Structure 1
Amino acid sequence: MPFFKQLPSILTLVGTLSLASLATPAAQAQNRGDDTFLEMHQAFRKNDRTRLTALLPQLQGHTLEPLAAYWELRMRLDTASEADILGFLTKYAGSYYEDRLRNDWLLQLGKRRDWPTVAAQHRSYRMKDDKEVSCYALAADAILSKMDVAAEAKRLWYAQRDADDGCTYLAEHLHSGRKINGLDLWRKARIAMDANKPRAAKDAVDIEAPRLSEQVTLIFNDPAKYLDKRILAITKSRKELAVLALIRLAATDPDKAARELDKRWGLMLTPEERHWTWAVIGKQAAQKLQDNASSYFAKVHKDSDLSDDLLMWKIRAALRMGQWGQVLSATEALSADSRNDPAWVYWRARALAATATSDVHKQEAQQLLRGIASVKGFYEQLALEELGQTITVPERPAPLTPQEKGQALANPGLQRALYAIQLGLRAEGNREWNYSTNLHTPGGMNDRELLAAADLACQRQVWDRCINTSDRTKAVIDFEQRFPMPLREIVLRRSQAIGMDPAYVYGLIRQESRFIMDARSHVGASGLMQVMPATAKWTAKKIGLTTFTPEQITDKETNVAIGTGYLKLVLDDFAGSMPMAAAAYNAGPSRPRNWRNGPVLEAAIWAENIPFQETRDYVKKVLSNTTNYAALITGKPQSLKARLGSVGPRAASAPEANADLP
């Protein structure tokens, strides 16, 4: 239908949704059907099948009827007829909940080993983001069509850190048909043991050596005891169990594991087994920031024997010790997907430049940097600066047209998502929003459509969807969408009053809460700046909020005052180091105090060596955000490297660490 014929209905919808957006979630619940819908939500959480079935007819025609119908059918999916399921899929065709229910049904079909129906239904499954469902689909292909799925099966299975029926069944089936071998199974067991997942390790061993699989639990509980045992017959399986024991021992004492490998087991293991074990010992030593980590990795003589995870830790250990040749060789051994990650592209380019023996190597380094250089992220910004450029605000895209805005507003999935969020069901709303904007789903969005959807979320002040949607554009960047500044007056006033860079405050808030005012973490941190209750109470006293009470932490002004006050105290304790202060804000101050010990490092290398993945990513994102916010706020070119600086031990002349800082 031509757009001008749709315009009256779209304008009516604009008016309706604009009025709805002014209502609070509590007021929205008074609208027709909302009370019933929220009652269904409670019934779903309580697994009350009877109540769900009784209430569903009252929601016919409600905006969120597909979600309510999904709850009702999902609760009885194990007993529902195929006609009921197919009826739901037809009625809500094209919606997120059609795909969500098909995902749940595919899991049940796989557990029942109904391969013809798995194959038929998987063809219509659009999200394809459930690894267990993917394993069931591969099993159907292997069983029904005799397809060779071994390579993809191993990729999926290795990525599943915990045990699941789908990928375990697939591995067992492929092993019985000699499509994957014993080494493939033992590698899965090694990965699982290193990830602290004994059940997954046991399941893998059970396929290859069922009589020995019970040993996995004993090894997990006491690896040293297993290694001390006198084993009369050193079979292939017994040696692999020793590798698992060395991996488990390395988690707590990498040096002891190294001694065991040197003293007894090294001569018994194959080169591949030794290489993997030395790499795990090196990884564990690197995560403890031991200077000998790179010496353990040096005992690996064939990088192709290692997984990407182990190679990444080899790179980090080499960076910490300035061993650019090791960085270069390890990045060469990464899989194609990992090698294209901006982090490893950047460090490979740096390694090439540092070890260059000809202009060809220098030119290759420059080419790698040019391939990732942009303002989009931490390593992309560093690449820009390596090329002699600065971080500036990119040119804004052409303004959205009324038609583009109207189409976003009329999108049923976005409507339902916003309605759910307004009713307080943020998780449900976020999932439907993400589905509706994903290119792999019906109506998936190009860059202009993503900008329009992000604009809709910004207008409704649903800042997390605004940012996350705008972040996904490829060819264009709208900085004002990606880096919004809600509560600008409060943030700037509070920051300036205590001598804080407001760009740093905004960079941290964007990472902490995405500007969700009522955000609450699983550990109890609250509000825009995600402040823990005890920290809030302590900081309130330090900054003179004598009348502070715990319920005030979700007040915008109070949360920003306490969050910026605490951040300033942390920043001062780390002598103005933004990377260390960000790490302290995320992981507590005691950890970065320990992480700073050792050689003086450029802060990008220090950040890449942070042992915790969450904190490692957090520091990089906060500093990248900060640099972009500074470009927006000041209108001037910025440097990420200047904000990073270097990190090393606390200077002897520096004041003692603030022991009271929580």
Structure 2
Amino acid sequence: MHHKSLVRGLSTLVTTLTLSVSLPLFADDRAMREALEAARSQQWSRIDQSAVDGHILAGYIEYHRLRHQLPHVEPNQVLDFMARHADSPLAEWMRGQAQSQYGQAGRYSDLLAVSDGPPAGGERQCYYYTALHDRDPATAVQGGRDLWLVGHSQSSACDPLFSRLRANGGITADDIWERKMLAWQSGESGLMSFLGRQLGSDWQGARDAVEVLSRDYAAITRVPTHIGPNGAGSGPLFAAAMHGFTRADTEAALEAWRKIAAHIPIESHHRQEIEHDLAFYSMVRNVTHNLAWVDDVLPRLASGSLLELRVRNALASRDWSGAIGWIEMMPEETRLDSRWQYWLARAKEIQGDSIAANQAYARAAQGRNFFGFAASDRLGQPYSLGLERASFNEEYRSEVAQWPVVQRTHALMRIGEQGLANSEWYSAIERANEEQARALADYAQRQGWYAKLVQTTITGRMWDALDWRFPEAYRESFMRWGESTGVDPYLLMGIARRESAYNTEALSPAGARGLMQLMPGTATLLARQLGISDPGPYGVLEPEMNIRLGSTYIRDMIDRYRGNRLAAAAAYNAGPGRVDRWLRDAPEEFDLFVESIPFRETRDYVQAVLAYRVIFESLANGGNTDGIAMLSAHETNVRYDASLLARN
């Protein structure tokens, strides 16, 4: 509940995962915990090496020891460590540490020796391309330019690379100007000033134009069309100025653009960027005078996201012919999505073309989502789950339990290193083949590691493994508090699955906590309402308490909206005050109400929660969707307007 607008080579893994390694399960977890704490703080004298030798986690101590010795170790030592720990995240962590330390020390040949292509992270990339400059200058120049052309400051690690590129022409005055304009767009005034000082007097007119436009965007129709030497600065300047103008006053920005567009010498990507912004903000802000221009430019922009927005606007005004036309203009992958096939069917149905409507409904109904289920309801057929199940014999399961990654994960959990345990687990999923990933998912399920299990299916892209994606986590609690509050327990499961993916310690940026993501203040009020003690910010993380309070809150929202779960789910996510306002201006039909929700997060949230509850109930029914309905007849047929409020 947010109340805001709201995851290499596989050969080593195959070997280490499919062989039972005769290592001791663990030596002394207490000694390992103390050794790891000491290693992190480089207190080597505190480590009882004999107590940790042979422990499944001994590599973590070795990692910290070798990391501390960098950069004063040879790259072959780093590579040896990585080879011995190739089935663990320790290998890539060590590579990253070596790249940083060798780069900082200027040991560029050593950096390249431990590298396997461009690293992640701007600082390491700067070191990498500096090291690569003499060996592969073309790749280094391109990588350096990509790092240069951003609207924010880069790490000082980039300074040597940028200096070399400026000296040999890899970064030109045109590039300095373009970065200055990107900094303007990002509001980075300090970087703008720094870059401006690096430009010669032949750019003074360009600097003057920025000064004028910074005070008054409308001056864009009066500044020179050719900016900088040979007009090279025109595109970046007009793109940056229109970026700000469009956000400040979309109607005036378009009026100015129509005056200058044909006369300014800018590249097509700058023109596309400007017109994409104008179209987007014109539609989002419903700038009436701009909409005819938007319709003219959309076919040329060929943007799937803009076409989606245009269809939503057509639906809001019940322009069914327009909706059909814009849907048919979408890229094929977007157009064939259940959502847009559903709306194509609805429009065709309203126009009286039942054959085309049923064909589109049938395509939509193949989807396992809100609009796919809604299409199935229109056709009067069971929902399509596409459920896949895997089974493993007990002998193989016993083997999986001895895989080193499983043993390390257990050991890290035993010593309280949940973050490291997750890293071990998910990195193994990323490297595993399909069978191995499924075996690990099966293991997580049998261990009751529900949060790990859900994330495993995401990392492993197991989209049809519904028993694992939607496990029976905390089922007894959901059933008990569902019965106590009168709330559909499968709705509670759907909310918890969407809110936290079963991470009992989930903490949102806004401060929402636990399985059902309760704000501490809301939890306090709910506890008072129930006549129980305030659980406090940590007590609310306890699953039973979290489910009890979350069930009470969604019950209150359901009561507020006369039993309507669509509106209640929206209120759980965005707050009841917003939903009250939306209902006062909402279209009457349930599907149009969902599509009209202005916050994308809440729009997606409502669809997910209602679809998830179908999946949970179907799994409880053995995977059979017969007799299961996503919405009640009342929820489907009621008018979605202010009359839905229990208190007007």
TM-score category, normalised to shorter length: 0.7 to 0.9
Which residue number in structure 2 is paired with residue 466 of structure 1?
Answer: 453
Which residue number in structure 1 is paired with residue 516 of structure 2?
Answer: 529
In the alignment, the residues of structure 1 paired with residue 597 and residue 267 of structure 2 have an alpha-carbon distance, to the nearest angstrom, of 30
Contact 2:181 2:236 in 1 (8 A): no
CA 1:363–1:548 in structure 2 vs 1: closer, same or farther (change >3 Å)? closer
Which residue number in structure 2 is paired with residue 369 of structure 1?
Answer: 363
Which residue number in structure 2 is paired with residue 411 of structure 1?
Answer: 403
User: How far does residue 489 in structure 1 lie from its aligned partner after superposition?
Assistant: 2.2
Which residue number in structure 1 is paired with residue 433 of structure 2?
Answer: 445
> 2:489 is matched with which residue: 493, 502, 507?
502
- Answer with 1 or 2: which has the greater Rg: 2
In the alignment, the residues of structure 1 paired with residue 309 and residue 192 of structure 2 have an alpha-carbon distance, to the nearest angstrom, of 25
User: How far does residue 534 in structure 1 lie from its aligned partner after superposition?
Assistant: 0.3
In the alignment, the residues of structure 2 paired with residue 419 and residue 457 of structure 1 have an alpha-carbon distance, to the nearest angstrom, of 15
In the alignment, the residues of structure 2 paired with residue 351 and residue 408 of structure 1 have an alpha-carbon distance, to the nearest angstrom, of 46
> 1:567 is matched with which residue: 554, 560, 580?
554
User: How far does residue 319 in structure 1 lie from its aligned partner after superposition?
Assistant: 5.3
Q: Does 2:293 correspond to 1:284?
A: no
Which residue number in structure 2 is paired with residue 401 of structure 1?
Answer: 393
In the alignment, the residues of structure 2 paired with residue 389 and residue 577 of structure 1 have an alpha-carbon distance, to the nearest angstrom, of 23
Which residue number in structure 1 is paired with residue 13 of structure 2?
Answer: none
User: How far does residue 243 in structure 1 lie from its aligned partner after superposition?
Assistant: 3.0
Q: Secondary structure at the match of 2:337?
A: helix
Q: Does 2:424 correspond to 1:432?
A: yes
User: How far does residue 180 in structure 1 lie from its aligned partner after superposition?
Assistant: 12
CA 1:350–1:408 in structure 2 vs 1: closer, same or farther (change >3 Å)? same
Q: Does 2:72 correspond to 1:63?
A: no
> 2:471 is matched with which residue: 460, 480, 484?
484
Counterparts of residues 32-431 of structure 1 (less than 5 Å): 32-37=30-35, 39-40=37-38, 44=40, 48=41, 50-51=42-43, 55=47, 57=49, 59-74=52-67, 77=70, 81-106=74-99, 121-123=114-116, 144=135, 198=188, 225-228=216-219, 232-236=223-227, 237-238=233-234, 240-251=236-247, 253-258=249-254, 260-261=256-257, 268=264, 272=268, 273=270, 275-287=272-284, 295=292, 297-300=294-297, 303-304=300-301, 313-314=309-310, 316-317=312-313, 320-321=316-317, 322=319, 323-325=322-324, 327-328=326-327, 331-332=330-331, 340=333, 345-347=337-339, 349=341, 369=363, 373-375=366-368, 377-378=369-370, 389-391=381-383, 397=389, 399-431=391-423
User: How far does residue 434 in structure 1 lie from its aligned partner after superposition?
Assistant: 1.1
Q: Secondary structure at the match of 2:493?
A: helix
* Alignment gaps of 5+ in structure 1: 1-5, 21-27, 333-338, 658-662
Contact 2:176 2:199 in 1 (8 A): no
Q: What per-residue deviation string (whole Å, max 9, x for no partner) do you get for residues 445-482 of structure 1?
A: 31x43332112112222111112224566788443322
CA 1:381–1:496 in structure 2 vs 1: closer, same or farther (change >3 Å)? same
> 2:641 is matched with which residue: 639, 650, 659?
650
Q: Percent identity?
A: 21
Q: Does 2:575 correspond to 1:588?
A: yes
CA 1:392–1:68 in structure 2 vs 1: closer, same or farther (change >3 Å)? farther
Which residue number in structure 2 is paired with residue 633 of structure 1?
Answer: 620
Which residue number in structure 1 is paired with residue 533 of structure 2?
Answer: 547
Q: Secondary structure at the match of 1:331?
A: coil
Matching residue's letter, 1:283: F
Mean Cα deviation higher: 504-513 or 590-599: 590-599
Q: What per-residue deviation string (whole Å, max 9, x for no partner) do you get for residues 194-223 of structure 1?
A: 7x575999699989989979999x989995
Mean Cα deviation higher: 581-590 or 427-436: 581-590
Contact 2:499 2:517 in 1 (8 A): yes
Mean Cα deviation higher: 597-606 or 427-436: 597-606
How many residues were matched structurally? 609
In the alignment, the residues of structure 2 paired with residue 230 and residue 157 of structure 1 have an alpha-carbon distance, to the nearest angstrom, of 30
Contact 1:64 1:416 in 2 (8 A): yes
Matching residue's letter, 1:281: L
Q: Secondary structure at the match of 2:87?
A: coil
CA 1:607–1:232 in structure 2 vs 1: closer, same or farther (change >3 Å)? same
In the alignment, the residues of structure 2 paired with residue 347 and residue 183 of structure 1 have an alpha-carbon distance, to the nearest angstrom, of 43
Which residue number in structure 2 is paired with residue 493 of structure 1?
Answer: 480
Q: Secondary structure at the match of 1:61?
A: coil
User: How far does residue 411 in structure 1 lie from its aligned partner after superposition?
Assistant: 2.1
Q: Secondary structure at the match of 1:234?
A: coil
Q: What per-residue deviation string (whole Å, max 9, x for no partner) do you get for residues 6-62 of structure 1?
A: 9xx96999xx97xx9xxxxxxx9x83424315624xx74xxx4x3368649464433
Q: Secondary structure at the match of 1:515?
A: coil
Q: Secondary structure at the match of 2:534?
A: coil
Contact 1:275 1:300 in 2 (8 A): no
Which residue number in structure 2 is paired with residue 660 of structure 1?
Answer: none
Matching residue's letter, 2:55: H
TM-score under structure 2 normalisation?
0.72
Contact 2:566 2:606 in 1 (8 A): yes
Matching residue's letter, 1:548: D
User: How far does residue 351 in structure 1 lie from its aligned partner after superposition?
Assistant: 6.8
Q: Secondary structure at the match of 2:330?
A: helix
User: How far does residue 367 in structure 1 lie from its aligned partner after superposition?
Assistant: 11
CA 1:654–1:518 in structure 2 vs 1: closer, same or farther (change >3 Å)? closer
Counterparts of residues 613-628 of structure 1 (less than 5 Å): 614-628=601-615
In the alignment, the residues of structure 1 paired with residue 329 and residue 130 of structure 2 have an alpha-carbon distance, to the nearest angstrom, of 34
Which residue number in structure 1 is paired with residue 10 of structure 2?
Answer: none
Contact 2:100 2:124 in 1 (8 A): yes
Q: Secondary structure at the match of 2:419?
A: helix
Contact 2:213 2:219 in 1 (8 A): no
CA 1:129–1:267 in structure 2 vs 1: closer, same or farther (change >3 Å)? same
CA 1:275–1:83 in structure 2 vs 1: closer, same or farther (change >3 Å)? closer
* Alignment gaps of 5+ in structure 2: 1-15, 228-232
Q: Secondary structure at the match of 2:278?
A: helix
TM-score under structure 1 normalisation?
0.71
